[in-house]
């Protein structure tokens, strides 16, 4: 966990320019989208007053890159209002734009509450949960996971409990960044599996975009439940929606990711 937190924190080069590095030991093949998004979010957070908390982010992954080449993060201050602030972060590697993140920040304000109920599942310490695929890969080692797979009307639903391995700082902004990393773990598996492909086989699935809506501060020191549902896979693009709940049933975030999916035959 300590190593992941270090990677998330970018180095300030100027007022709105930052430098971020990755760890080839964690992601030896290519950059990991969840970590890039977290680094971009952290850069954006460094340009807004502390009273503004992130309430949504939308990331477009334009191209991949090697993990041993540093990234330059350029923040554009799109809006600074009394209740909302907006930032756009362009992530550049070797003079090529690899990612664009738009983040919106909101000053906390009370309101009536409505939320969908948490699915009825056994607790993290109960029932038949098993480790997700490849739990020892890279940044996933910073979290403990217990998951299961279900099929409803032909669509795959994956549910898993997760919590950090080791202590996590209390800073809500940093927790939002760590959560951003977490939401990219196995995000596209339901779409891959819903069309009968083996995610551990000769399958290509590359993230195209990733969105998060933060409804509450993330209680990252405890078990949280992630539920991911396949929505549609058409034209070699799969879409998955996710909902995230605290242990007491509160909805803390919603997630959506689209990816390019091709099987061994190229479809």
Nearest-angstrom CA–CA distance, 100 and 209: 10
Q: Within a 10 A sphere around the Cβ of 76, how many other Cβ atoms? A: 14
Question: Within the chain, which residues score under 50 in pLDDT?
Answer: 267
- pTM greater than 0.85: yes
Give the model's pLDDT for residue 136: 61
Q: Which 3 state secondary structure label does DSSP give 24?
A: coil
Choose among 117, 118, 149, 152: nearest CA to 133. 149
SS3 129: coil
- Predicted local distance difference test score (pLDDT) of residue 267: 47
φ/ψ of residue 220, rounded to 5: -75, -5
Q: What's the CA gap between 9 and 259, in Å, rounded? A: 27
């Amino acid at each position: 966990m300590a190593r992941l937190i270090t990677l998330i924190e970018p180095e300030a080069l100027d007022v709105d320019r930052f430098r971020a590095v990755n760890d080839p030991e964690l992601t030896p093949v290519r950059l990991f989208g969840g970590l890039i998004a977290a680094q971009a979010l952290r850069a954006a957070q460094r340009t807004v007053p502390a009273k503004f908390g992130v309430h949504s982010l939308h990331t477009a992954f334009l191209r991949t890159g090697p993990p041993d080449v540093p990234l330059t993060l350029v923040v554009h201050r799109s809006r600074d209002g009394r209740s909302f602030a907006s930032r756009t972060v362009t992530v550049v590697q070797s003079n090529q734009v690899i990612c664009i993140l738009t983040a919106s920040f909101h000053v906390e304000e009370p309101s009536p509450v409505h939320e969908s109920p948490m699915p009825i599942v056994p607790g993290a310490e109960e029932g038949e949960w098993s480790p997700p695929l490849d739990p020892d890969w890279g940044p996933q080692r910073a979290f403990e996971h217990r998951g299961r797979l279900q099929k409803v009307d032909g669509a795959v639903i994956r549910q898993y409990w997760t919590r950090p391995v080791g202590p996590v700082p209390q800073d809500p902004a940093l927790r939002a960044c760590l959560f951003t990393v977490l939401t990219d773990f196995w995000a596209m598996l339901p779409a891959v599996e819903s069309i009968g492909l083996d995610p551990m086989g000769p399958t290509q699935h590359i993230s195209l975009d990733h969105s998060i809506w933060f409804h509450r501060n993330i209680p990252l020191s405890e078990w949280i439940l992630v539920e991911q549902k396949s929505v549609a896979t058409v034209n070699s693009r799969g879409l998955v929606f996710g909902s995230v709940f605290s242990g007491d049933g509160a909805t803390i975030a919603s997630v959506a990711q689209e990816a390019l999916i091709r099987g061994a035959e190229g479809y």
